[in-house]
Amino acid sequence: MIKKTFALIAIILSLLATPLKADEDESTKTIFISDIHMCDYSSIVPPDKKYSCYGWFNKNSKLLTKFLENVEKDRDVKNIVILGDLFDGWVCPYDEDPLHGAKNVDDMFIKMGSVDEQTNPINAPVIKGFQQLALDGRLIYVPGNHDMLLTEDTLQKIIPGIVYIEGTFQGTGKYESEDGIIVAEHGHDYCLFNARDVFDIADDTQQSLPVGHFITRAASYKAAHGGGIITTPEILQKKSLKILQTCSSNASLKGINETVFKLILVYLKTIPLLDIGNKKLEAIIFVMKGLDNFKDINGVDVDKKYSNLFENWPTTKVDAATAVLSDMGALSKAALKVYIDNKDDKHQIVVFGHTHAAELIKKNGKIYANSGTWIDRAKKCTYVETEKNTDGSYMVGVYEYTDKYPGKLLYSATIPAKSE
């Protein structure tokens, strides 16, 4: 009898020690994941071994599938939000068909999202995992830059039931939690080379692809010809930092003025970004197949089209210097300006993707987190998780997912309940 009493007391104490959720019948967690970059299968296994592999997502397919299966089982997860670049509509050598044989861009994405494991063995298991979450009513999508041409109708055909959040323009959008605490977006909208191009829309052509598309195509060409896979963020970060060191070896990023940034932009034009060796720019022909209303275009015309990015950058987002920094990997600076340091903004948790680098910053009683990436070149496959407690406070964590340690906490921070 005494043993039973002690056992009962132990159970009660255990229950009392367990942190209470916001509501025992309510899911309290939201998971943010981004930058998966599922490509056309031909980018991983080129037909007739014509090229080397140049796709970004392959080996981590099984790991991501397992992650999605675990999330589906966790009923404490209310939503999983994909913060852009679910698919990759940019990765393709510049001299090849960017639609990968599809009739149009919609069919290209449908092909990438096929659940036929015979023809689409890498992406299909992942798509099935997302389909199950959408079936449960828990999956949300926010556009990125590499899939900015993916429409809601097409995505619904691939993942029925997914909630598609679109902003003022196609290829933009942001998620906001019901209580107004959390705001999340891909982040490319604050990046000079990757924001939707709204500066040169003439003759109703409605071309929205930024110069980042062409940088990616050139990098894909190099990879396809044995030069090794390198992602667009890596290109911009490495080249930009090298330029900064040359321009101002003794200056901090904070001390660099607009004149220096303009010098950077002069150097960061198409030729060094494309990294095409000794080929003349006019000899580089980007095959477009009508993608985003583009005709085939040579390197010189690409250079001309985007030559005034810095001068024409809309300062309603962030200033042009910050937009350059954002493309160099310092996207947190844009998050701080737009949300964290902005006294007029009431959000307390901000989540971005895009940089492929997970991080967490707490400042001014607010939290900025980046969800990282799941591409093969990632050192860690990461995601962000937010959880609301009973008292209205929030915990934000950045986690790494591995077979050995599923859900390893890397960084975390909490914020108190929002005062009324």
Residue 238 has a pLDDT of 66
Whether 317 and 170 have beta carbons less than 8 Å apart is answered as no
Whether 75 and 29 have beta carbons less than 8 Å apart is answered as no
* Nearest CA among 335, 314, 338 for reference residue 197: 314
* Residue 390 located in a structural domain: yes
Give the total number of structural domains in the chain.
Answer: 1
* Residue 168 located in a structural domain: yes
Residue 179 has a pLDDT of 93
Residue 420 has a pLDDT of 56
Cα–Cα distance between 362 and 60 in angstroms, integer? 30
Domain, as residue range, for 92: 30-415
Angle at 292 between CA 105 and CA 183, to 5 degrees: 85
Q: Residue 135 belongs to what H/E stretch?
A: helix 124-135
- Identify the residue whose tokens are 């679910």: 86
* Residue 19 located in a structural domain: no
Greatest pairwise CA separation for the chain in angstroms: 90
Residue 269 has a pLDDT of 45
Residue 302 has a pLDDT of 84
Whether 317 and 324 have beta carbons less than 8 Å apart is answered as no
Helices (H) and strands (E) in the chain, counts: 13, 14
* Residue 51 located in a structural domain: yes
* Residue 15 located in a structural domain: no
**Can you point out the beta strands (E) in 246-317?**
285-286, 297-298
* Residue 8 located in a structural domain: no
SS3 218: helix
Residue 399 has a pLDDT of 98
SS3 93: coil
Residue 5 has a pLDDT of 47
The end-to-end CA distance of the chain, in Å, is 50
Whether 405 and 67 have beta carbons less than 8 Å apart is answered as no
Residue 263 has a pLDDT of 43
* Residue 2 located in a structural domain: no
Sign of dihedral through CA atoms 243, 248, 253, 256? negative
397-402 contacts: CB < 8 A, separation 24 or more? 398/358, 398/359, 398/360, 398/369, 398/370, 398/371, 398/372, 400/358, 401/63, 401/67, 402/63
Neighbours of 348 (CB within 10 A): 23
Residue 202 has a pLDDT of 45
* Nearest CA among 366, 328, 351 for reference residue 399: 351
Burial of 367-387, coded b for 16+ CB within 10 Å and e otherwise, reads bbbbbbbbbbebebbbbbbbb
139: which 2 tokens? 């999956």
384: which 2 tokens? 């962000």
* Residue 25 located in a structural domain: no
SS3 68: helix
Residue 327 has a pLDDT of 84
Per-residue DSSP letters for 221-260?
A: HHIIIII----HHHHHHHHHHHHHHHH-TT--GGG--HHH
**Which parts of the chain register pLDDT below 70?**
1-27, 198-205, 237-280, 419-420
Residue 264 has a pLDDT of 43
Residues 6+ apart with CB under 8 A from 413: 360, 362, 367, 395, 396
Residue 277 has a pLDDT of 52
